[in-house]
Homo-oligomer: A and B are copies of this chain.
Amino acid sequence: MNWWKVIGGVLGGAVILAAGLLIGHFGISKNTEPKWATALSRDVDEEFIQEFMKEVDTKRIEDNLRRLSLKPHVATTPADEELVQTILSHWKDANSGLDDAQEFRYDVFLSFPDKNNPNNVKVVTPEGTVKFTSKRAENETTTDQRDPDILQPYLAFAPNGTAKGKLVYANEGKVSDFQHLSEKINLTGTIAIVRYGGTGRVNKAINAAQFGVIGVIIYTDPKDINDGKSSASETYPNSWYLPPSGVERGSFKENFGDQLTPYYPAKNSTYRIKESEIKGLSPIPAQPIGFEDAKSLICNLQGPPAIDSWQGSLGCIYNIGPGFQPSSEFINSDVEVNVYNKRTIKSSANVMGIIHGSVEPDRYVMYGNHRDSWVHGAIDPSSGTAVMMEITRVLGTKLKQGKWRPRRSIIFGSWGAEEFGLVGSTEFAEEYYSKLKDRTVAYINVDISVFANASLRAQGTAPAQSVIFEASKQVKTPQGTTVYENWKSNYNRTSPQYGLIPQMGALGSGSDYAPFLHYLGITCMDIAYTYDRRVTSARIYPAYHTAFDTFDYASKFIDPGFTSHQMVGRTAGNVLLRLADSLILPLGVRDYAETLEDYYNRAEQSFQSNLVSKNISLAPLKMAINRYKKACEALEETIKELKETKETPLKIRMINDQLMLLERTFINHMAFPEQLYYSHIIWAPRSSGVATFPGLADAYLQATASNSQDDWDMVHHQLTIAIYAVESAASTLEQVTHISQR
């Protein structure tokens, strides 16, 4: 044996082996990440979004709408309960459903008309002869109005009673209207007829009562809703305009949520306050009527004519009263308002559906709309529900096919009893307050999805703006432009930062986003299609809350072909997917800086000189806003670096928590002790005309009126609250290990 050869062979073998080892170890790429790590860093899938949008189908939305608006489905009625089951069965469908769906029930305080004892408005002569009685129901313009389940017109929670007195015309029932009127005539013991618009429904009666008025009649003037058109031939079924017999129903209360159980879920074991302790109800009876009936009343009024801005389109001079013209058949007659509503506690259901998140199941993107209507509710709310059901169908199908699962959990809500004041959503927000505020990324509301088919209309807080812009740029209109461009051409503003952009609206408390925004501090948005203001000045779509808001009306006059519904579904769904699937949450927190600076500038402009004289300085507010801006810029830098370098999933979560929780820093439950729920420093209601921090603006209004030191102290107090909120916001966005006081 040749030792050298053996040694050589051994050596050669060793070299080959070594090469193999090296190549095997380093050369053949092993996936260096565990599978979960790959899933953790997956970003939103643009192809999937395109696929989703493609599948949102007009025909299916139309079918949904037809089914949803087949019958009047007022909250807690059998028809409402049927829809609960319909939605549940869709969301539980094995092929197109969600992961889970359930009913969430609350025992809530509602108010209904008495079938056997209908409310009415009468004209009664001194001898007791009834010369006029308001219509009990809308005219049967189509078969839809024949439905026996249509509730007669009423105002929910309007107190019962009979009020009788001379009639006066009080324009929109604003405080300034009654002020003006009271300078001309004695209002004590009168009945006021007012038109919808200008102020909230119940506020008309609350204001009236302060001037001695004892009963209120509310009607819809053709000037406000019909672009002046009032004849039967000009209105539905011949156009989208409200027929003369149409009556807007509605809730007659100031506050939202179940009124007997503020802050706690309405269950039968929950403590209920007394009805007498409820705030924000009308102290006097009130009843809505159609403009046909209103014409009989208003056009017979005596007294001096109302000023020009009070005149409407009933085809006569509106006199202010009190009482009727000597020449009219109503001479010397009083007007009687008779209300026989029944207050009652009923079980109302929300239907909640969930798609479990794969990576961050404990982060929720919420999407919701109410289910209950006043009559058939084709537009309000079924146009929104029809879209929501189409979104859940497309996503549910992908889910069941195993083609998609969101990074974060998605929760859908079909809320009950919204028409009675956002009751179902508020009770849900109360019951799950803790976990919703800790985990919810954003809430998307699509209530009425199509008011009209001209342009997108989006409301929301600043962090929602960028994702709505991004989504709407990806959706095409039937005319071939994008939803974004069309929106921008219809409603726009010039932003200091971005130039000409579509105008986002502010969120009030008009739909179910209110508890999530005002009480929990969750970034909210509301998306719809709306009017071309060059074409109509209608206060809202004319059939709103009447027996004419039907499938026939919607499909013929609001959105023939359902393409606007489709655009809303595509836009809102796109937003939903970006919020659910993006690695970094698409919340533009920096856009709040623009809101804050705008607020600051208005405060400085309107308040500064008086504040200086009271030794109250706005400078710390300015400093806080600058700190906020710097924090946003630094965070954006961090996010950019994070995207470039390979970073850990916990760093991404950290950033996302900062983005998610930013809106929460504006919540201060101590800020407005007189307000139920409202705790958002930026978006609480404001009486002042100065568009700045509402607490500051209203305190300033009060202080300048009274000039008392206590009131000026309150201005300083509210300024402190605003400063502190902005400082907290900055602090939440700053680097988490940064310690240094401003």
**CB within 8 Å of B: which residues of A?**
9, 12-13, 16-26, 28, 30-34, 36-37, 39-40, 99-105, 263-265, 267, 269-271, 352-354, 356-357, 359-362, 409, 411, 431-435, 438-439, 617, 619-620, 646-650, 653-654, 657-658, 661, 664-665, 669-670, 713, 716-717, 719-721, 723-724, 727-729, 731-732, 736-737, 739-741
Contacts and interface: CB of A to CB of B under 8 A. Distances in A.
Contacts of A357: 737
Contacts of A741: 102-105, 431
Given A13-B12, A713-B271, A739-B100, A438 B32 contact: no
Given A32-B34, A411-B739, 4 more contacts: A9-B9, A20-B24, A360-B654, A438-B732
Contacts of A32: 30-34
Given A13-B16, A269-B723, A664 B434 contact: yes
A23 B19 CA distance: 11
Contact of A265 (B619, B657, B724): B724
A377 to B, nearest CB: 25
A105 B18 CA distance: 65
B728 A433 contact: yes
A91 to B, nearest CB: 11
A674 to B, nearest CB: 12
Contacts of A716: 271
A118 to B, nearest CB: 36
A197 B690 CA distance: 55
Contacts of A620: 267, 269
A716 B741 CA distance: 44
A630 to B, nearest CB: 16
A647 B102 CA distance: 29
Contacts of A105: 741
A431 to B, nearest CB: 7
B657 A362 contact: yes
A358 to B, nearest CB: 10
Interface centre among A104, A713, A741 (most CB of B within 10 A): A741
B17 A728 contact: no
A383 B156 CA distance: 66
A19 B18 CA distance: 10
Given A434-B731, A713-B271, A741-B104, A25 B19 contact: no
A739 to B, nearest CB: 5
B25 A16 contact: no
Contacts of A39: 648
A724 B431 CA distance: 8
A362 B654 contact: yes
Among A13, A18, A20, the most chain B Cβ lie within 10 Å of the Cβ of A20
A580 to B, nearest CB: 13
A740 B102 contact: yes
Contact of A25 (B28, B267, B362, B737): B28
A28 to B, nearest CB: 5
B731 A432 contact: yes
Given A30-B32, A34-B646, A620-B269, A439 B736 contact: yes
A431 B269 contact: no
A353 B265 CA distance: 42
A551 B664 CA distance: 47
17 contacts: A16-B20, A18-B20, A20-B21, A22-B24, A31-B32, A33-B33, A33-B34, A99-B737, A105-B741, A354-B737, A357-B737, A362-B654, A362-B657, A434-B728, A434-B732, A438-B657, A649-B649
Contact of A17 (B19, B99, B101, B269): B19
Contacts of A361: 654, 736-737
A671 B267 CA distance: 18
Given A18-B20, A20-B21, A352 B650 contact: no
Contacts of A9: 9
Contacts of A727: 431
A335 to B, nearest CB: 40
A670 B430 CA distance: 12
A37 to B, nearest CB: 6
A269 to B, nearest CB: 4
A171 B738 CA distance: 52
A267 B716 CA distance: 13
A737 to B, nearest CB: 4
A718 to B, nearest CB: 8
A364 to B, nearest CB: 8
A28 B21 contact: yes
Contact of A30 (B30, B264, B269, B354): B30
Contacts of A724: 264-265, 270
B24 A271 contact: no
Nearest to A617: B269
Contact of A648 (B19, B647, B649, B740): B649
A240 to B, nearest CB: 39
Contacts of A25: 24-25, 28, 30
A308 to B, nearest CB: 46
Given A30-B30, A654-B361, A720-B271, A102 B739 contact: yes
Contacts of A736: 361-362, 409, 435, 439
Nearest to A433: B728
A728 to B, nearest CB: 4
A102 B625 CA distance: 23
With most chain B CB atoms within 10 A of its CB, the pick from A21, A356, A361, A732 is A21
A139 B201 CA distance: 76
A271 B12 CA distance: 85
A123 to B, nearest CB: 44
A362 B648 CA distance: 13
Most B CB within 10 A of own CB, among A22, A263, A434: A434
A354 B739 contact: yes
Contacts of A101: 739
A617 B33 CA distance: 56
A481 to B, nearest CB: 40
A720 B264 contact: yes
A231 to B, nearest CB: 51
Contacts of A438: 657, 661, 664, 732
A31 B380 CA distance: 58
Contacts of A647: 36
A658 B37 CA distance: 22
**Nearest 4 interchain pairs by C-beta:** A20-B20, A24-B24, A21-B24, A362-B736
Contacts of A729: 434
A22 B265 CA distance: 62
Interface centre among A269, A270, A649 (most CB of B within 10 A): A269
A684 B34 CA distance: 48
